[in-house]
């Protein structure tokens, strides 16, 4: 069964993530949960923790599953990013169950202490995914495919978030990438782009987005829009996904 999530990049700029999630709660939309963006939280630890706890209360009230988007590299040269444990603690603060990270150094997946990372992920019972982002290091088809192959070789319990719009930004074919990487996909980050590579409403972009949501369980809407546009966008996904 398809589940729709809302990434907080959807929010209007003047709103905090907590305020936006409160707004979502009032709209009572047919969504399974929300994906929080770490870069939109306060840099002050105490303020960040306070907001995450408030978000946790809203999530509990709505029975939402919560996800975490962390735009930081998991794999550094010869080591796992030492900040990973802090990200996990933040995830637990708002009772999140999954975390999307940047891959980072693809070659280091094989040389890092994969056993320690595997044990930490399994111990905390969270789901971790990497994403094809908008960087030459991690956003090309070749880099993404290699990263997934290295993860598989290392036996790491790390999944894959397929971002439709990022392929367009990188001037790669989302159709080709989807065809070849489909079996590895855990999450779809759904957004469409116009010819100027700016995110637009789903039916206003250059790619036929409906092909990427068939038989996929987790769909995350990840593009700015007005709150008044949210219901129709969600309904479009439901219509095409069923």
Q: What pLDDT, on a 0 to 100 scale, did the predictor assign at position 175?
A: 97
Q: What pLDDT, on a 0 to 100 scale, did the predictor assign at position 54?
A: 96
**At what angle are helices 17-27 and 45-62 packed, to 10 degrees?**
10
Q: What pLDDT, on a 0 to 100 scale, did the predictor assign at position 74?
A: 97
pLDDT in tens, 186-235: 999 999 999 998 999 999 999 999 999 998 999 999 999 999 999 999 99
Q: What pLDDT, on a 0 to 100 scale, did the predictor assign at position 89?
A: 96
Q: What token pair was written down for 236?
A: 């479009």
Tally of CB atoms within 10 A around 187 = 24
- Determine the distance from the C-alpha atom of residue 143 to the mean position of all C-alpha atoms in its chain, rounded to a whole number: 18
Q: What angle do CA 221, 224, 230 make, to 5 degrees?
A: 60
Burial class (CB in 10 A: 0-12, 13-18, 19+), 80: buried
- Whether the per-residue pLDDT at 66 is higher than 90: the answer is yes
Number of folded domains that form the chain = 1
- Domain of 207, CATH number, reads 3.20.20.150
Report yes or no: 74 and 104 within 8 Å, Cβ to Cβ.
yes
Q: What pLDDT, on a 0 to 100 scale, did the predictor assign at position 241?
A: 86
Q: What pLDDT, on a 0 to 100 scale, did the predictor assign at position 49?
A: 96
Q: What pLDDT, on a 0 to 100 scale, did the predictor assign at position 98?
A: 97
pLDDT in tens, 167-185: 999 999 999 999 999 999 9
Q: What phi and psi, each to the nearest 5 degrees, are found at residue 169?
A: -60, -40
- Whether the per-residue pLDDT at 112 is higher than 80: the answer is no
DSSP the chain: --EEEEEGGGS-TTS-HHHHHHHHHHHT-S-SEEEEEGGGS-SSHHHHHHHHHHHHHHHHHHT-EEEEEEEEEEEETTEE-TTHHHHHHHHHHTT--EEEEEEE-TTHHHHS-HHHHHHHHHHHT-EEEEE--SSTTTSSHHHHHHHHHHHHHHT--EEEEEEHHHHHHTT--HHHHHHHHGGGEEEEEE-EE-TTS-EE-GGGSSS-GGGGTTT-SEEEE-S---GGGHHHHHHHHHHHH-
> What is the average pLDDT across 86-90?
97
Q: Which residues pair with 135 in a beta bridge?
A: none
**50: CB partners within 8 A, 6+ apart:** none
- Whether the per-residue pLDDT at 78 is higher than 90: the answer is no
Q: What pLDDT, on a 0 to 100 scale, did the predictor assign at position 11?
A: 95
Range of the domain at 60: 3-241
Q: What pLDDT, on a 0 to 100 scale, did the predictor assign at position 113?
A: 79
Over pLDDT 70: what percentage of the chain?
100
- Whether the per-residue pLDDT at 242 is higher than 80: the answer is no
Mean pLDDT of the chain: 95
The gap between the terminal CA atoms of the chain, to the nearest Å, is: 9
- Whether the per-residue pLDDT at 125 is higher than 80: the answer is yes
> What is the average pLDDT across 151-164?
96
């Amino acid at each position: 069964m398809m589940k729709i999530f809302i990434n907080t990049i959807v929010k209007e700029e003047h709103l905090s993530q907590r305020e936006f999630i409160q707004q979502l709660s009032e709209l009572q939309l047919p969504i399974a949960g929300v994906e929080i963006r770490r870069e939109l939280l306060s840099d002050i630890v105490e303020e960040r923790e306070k907001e995450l706890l408030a978000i946790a209360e809203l999530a509990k009230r709505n029975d939402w599953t919560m996800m975490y988007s962390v735009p930081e590299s998991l794999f550094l040269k010869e080591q796992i990013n030492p900040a990973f444990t802090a990200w996990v603690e933040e995830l637990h603060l708002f009772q999140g169950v999954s975390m999307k990270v940047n891959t980072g150094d693809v070659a280091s997946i094989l040389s890092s202490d994969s056993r320690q990372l595997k044990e930490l992920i399994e111990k905390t019972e969270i789901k971790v995914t990497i994403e094809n982002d908008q960087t030459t290091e991690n956003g090309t088809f070749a880099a993404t495919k290699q990263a997934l192959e290295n993860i598989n070789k290392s036996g790491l319990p790390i999944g894959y978030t397929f971002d439709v719009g990022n392929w367009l930004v990188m001037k790669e074919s989302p159709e080709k990438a989807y065809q070849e990487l489909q079996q590895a996909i855990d999450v779809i980050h759904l957004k469409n782009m116009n010819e100027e590579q700016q995110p637009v409403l789903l039916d206003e972009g250059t790619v036929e987005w409906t092909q990427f949501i068939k038989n996929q369980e987790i769909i995350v809407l990840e593009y700015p829009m007005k709150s008044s546009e949210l219901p129709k966008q969600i309904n479009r996904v439901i219509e095409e996904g069923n």
